[in-house]
Structure 1
Amino acid sequence: MTDLEHIDGFDRKILALLQADARLTNNDLSEKVNLSPSQCSRRRARLEAEGYIGGYRAVLSRERLGFGLVNVITVTLATHNRDNAVRFAELVKRLPEVQEAHALTGDMDYILKVVTRDLKALSEFVNGVLLPHDSVQHVKTAIVLDTLKEENALPL
Structure 2
Amino acid sequence: MEAIISKELDAIDIQILDILQKGSDISNAEISRIVNLSPPATHARIKRLQNEGYIERQVAILNQEKLGFDLLTFIFISTDIHHADKLEVLEHALEGMSEILECHCLTGEYDYLLKVANKDRKSLENFMRKLNKMGITRIQTSLVLRDIKSSTALPLQL
TM-score, length basis structure 2: 0.92
1:73 equivalent in structure 2: 75
Instruction: For 1:109-120, list aligned pairs within 5 A.
Output: 109-120=111-122
1:140 equivalent in structure 2: 140
| Counterpart residue identity of residue 40, structure 2 | S
Residue by residue over 1:80-110, the C-alpha shift from the partner in whole angstroms, topping out at 9 and shown as x without a partner, is: 2212311210111110110010111111110
| Separation of aligned partners in 2, 1:117 and 1:22 | 28
Deviates more, 1:36-45 or 1:81-90: 81-90
User: Which structure 2 residue ranges, 5 or more long, are not aligned?
Assistant: none
| Separation of aligned partners in 2, 1:107 and 1:80 | 15
Secondary structure, in 3 states, of the residue corresponding to 1:5? coil
Residue by residue over 1:30-82, the C-alpha shift from the partner in whole angstroms, topping out at 9 and shown as x without a partner, is: 11111111110111111111111111110111011000011011111123221
| Counterpart residue identity of residue 24, structure 2 | A
Residue by residue over 1:3-38, the C-alpha shift from the partner in whole angstroms, topping out at 9 and shown as x without a partner, is: 811111111111111111111222111111111111
The RMSD of aligned alpha carbons is: 1.2
| Separation of aligned partners in 1, 2:79 and 2:86 | 8
Secondary structure, in 3 states, of the residue corresponding to 2:7? helix
TM-score, length basis structure 1: 0.93
1:87 equivalent in structure 2: 89
User: Which structure 1 residue ranges, 5 or more long, are not aligned?
Assistant: none
Residue by residue over 1:110-129, the C-alpha shift from the partner in whole angstroms, topping out at 9 and shown as x without a partner, is: 010000001111111002x1
2:31 equivalent in structure 1: 29
1:154 equivalent in structure 2: 154
